[in-house]
Amino acid sequence: MSAATSTSPRTAPKPGGAERRPRPSFTKLLTVIVLGFFLIMLAGVVGSVMISSVSTRWLNTWLPEGYTGRWFSAAWEEFGLTQVLLVTFQVAIAVLFMTLLIAIPAAYVLARQTFPGKRFLTILFLLPVVVPTITYGVPLATLLYRLQLAQTLPGVILINLVPSVPFAILILMPFVEQVDESLEKAARIFGARNWQVFARVVLPLLAPGIVATSILLLVRTIAMFDLTFLVAGPTTQTLVVKLFYAVSAAGFRSPQSIDAMAMMYMATNVLLLAVAFKFISPSRIVGGGAHRT
């Protein structure tokens, strides 16, 4: 965080240096206060859950009376996590493959070609990312209930595709732009057909982007609460929905086993995110889509 102060040498010295003196210290102070407050909140929130999940009893003290690991196995039994995790990964992997199947060709065309109506189509693809999930989630879930698809695995997968496909298109487009188009032309000159160019030239060169997108899609699907919650039935709850029901019915279960489940959920996501950073610059995850608006 101390690096924040290094802004000052970058800005050129200015006549009347006395005036710019307070600037670096203001920057530093602001960084320390805002980020410090935020980090304390975050550490407190996550730390409370973390410590609670390994505590024997924790009432009205700074730290619990003793520590134990038994809540993790207790939570596994209590919440039937084998089934829940099975559903979670089935949904995540199905969403991943269907999303890639739809998004890769679309991202390719949108990055490579201009055509009438492209602007309109781009905005249409952007909408599901910026419109809050609950706004389109309620009508879509209603429709899925009418079609008898709600509470089933296909229903949960379908509703999760809605934010995933546009997200994947937005992340993939810059990767397509990085693939040198002359390589495709060269392949065509040597007689490659369209599908060969795509399968043998574009896809291999796109691989890093596809891996990065895939991991981010897994993280997003596992963390997607709102939409899954709207259509999940008793046997199709993902981990985060199960966690929601456990928290909202707190009092019936020991808080430690809920917190233990929360820790398992968090560990899954953090692990995937750490892998994602191996393939994609962190700033791209949020900023990637924003630049193109």
Partner 1 sequence: MVTRTAAPPASLAPMKKRLAEKGVTPRLLLLMPAVVFVLGLFVYPFIYGLGLSLTTDNGSPWGNYQEFFSDPYLRGTIWLTVRLAVPAVIIILVTAMPLALAMRGVGRGKQAITIILLFPITIGTVLLSNGLLDFLGAAGWVNRFLLDTGLIAQPLQLIHNYWGVLFAIILTDFPFVFLLLLSYAGGIDTAYERAAAVFGASPRQRFLRVTLPLFAPGLAITTSLAFVLAFGTFPSALLVGEPAGSTRTMGVAAYSEAFQQFDYPMASTIVMLMAGVELLVIMLILGLRARLVPTLSSGRKG
Residue 143 beta carbon to partner 1: minimum distance, rounded to whole angstroms: 5
Binding mask 33-62 for partner 1 (x = CB under 8 A): -xx--xx-xx-xxxxxx--x------xxxx
Residue 73 beta carbon to partner 1: minimum distance, rounded to whole angstroms: 20
**From CA 250, how far away is CA 160, in angstroms rounded?**
27
Neighbours of 31 (CB within 10 A): 16
User: Binding segment for partner 1 among 66-74, 75-83, 203-211, 259-267 (CB under 8 A)?
Assistant: 259-267
* CA 92 to mean position of chain CA atoms: 12
How many residues of this chain interact with partner 1, rule: CB under 8 A?
A: 104
Q: What is the footprint of partner 1 within residues 71-130 (CB under 8 A)? A: 101-103, 105-106, 108-110, 112-116, 118, 121, 124-125, 127-128, 130
Residues shown for the chain: 293
Q: What is the DSSP letter of 234?
A: T
Nearer to partner 1, 84 or 159 (CB): 159
**From CA 160, how far away is CA 168, in angstroms rounded?**
12
Nearer to partner 1, 80 or 287 (CB): 287
Contact 285, 239 (CB under 8 A): no
**3-class secondary structure, 61:** coil
Q: Does 169 bind partner 1 (CB under 8 A)?
A: yes
* Interior/surface letters 197-215, b for 16+ CB within 10 angstroms, e for the rest: bbeebbeebbeebbebbbb
**From CA 102, how far away is CA 160, in angstroms rounded?**
14
Neighbours of 233 (CB within 10 A): 12
User: Binding segment for partner 1 among 17-25, 64-72, 73-81, 173-181 (CB under 8 A)?
Assistant: 17-25
Structure tokens at 50: 């973390």
Residue 197 beta carbon to partner 1: minimum distance, rounded to whole angstroms: 11
Q: What is the DSSP letter of 116?
A: T
Nearer to partner 1, 7 or 73 (CB): 7
Binding mask 149-168 for partner 1 (x = CB under 8 A): ---------xx-xx--xx--
Residue 82 beta carbon to partner 1: minimum distance, rounded to whole angstroms: 21
In the structure, how many helices (H) and strands (E) does the chain have?
14, 0
Q: Which of 17, 18, 19, 252 binds partner 1 (CB under 8 A)?
A: 19
Q: What is the footprint of partner 1 within residues 198-257 (CB under 8 A)? A: 219, 223, 225-226, 229-230, 240, 243-244, 247-248, 250, 255
Residue 74 beta carbon to partner 1: minimum distance, rounded to whole angstroms: 17
Residue 77 beta carbon to partner 1: minimum distance, rounded to whole angstroms: 20
- Looking at 179-202, list the stretches that DSSP marks H as alpha helix, in order from N- to C-terminal side: 181-189, 194-196
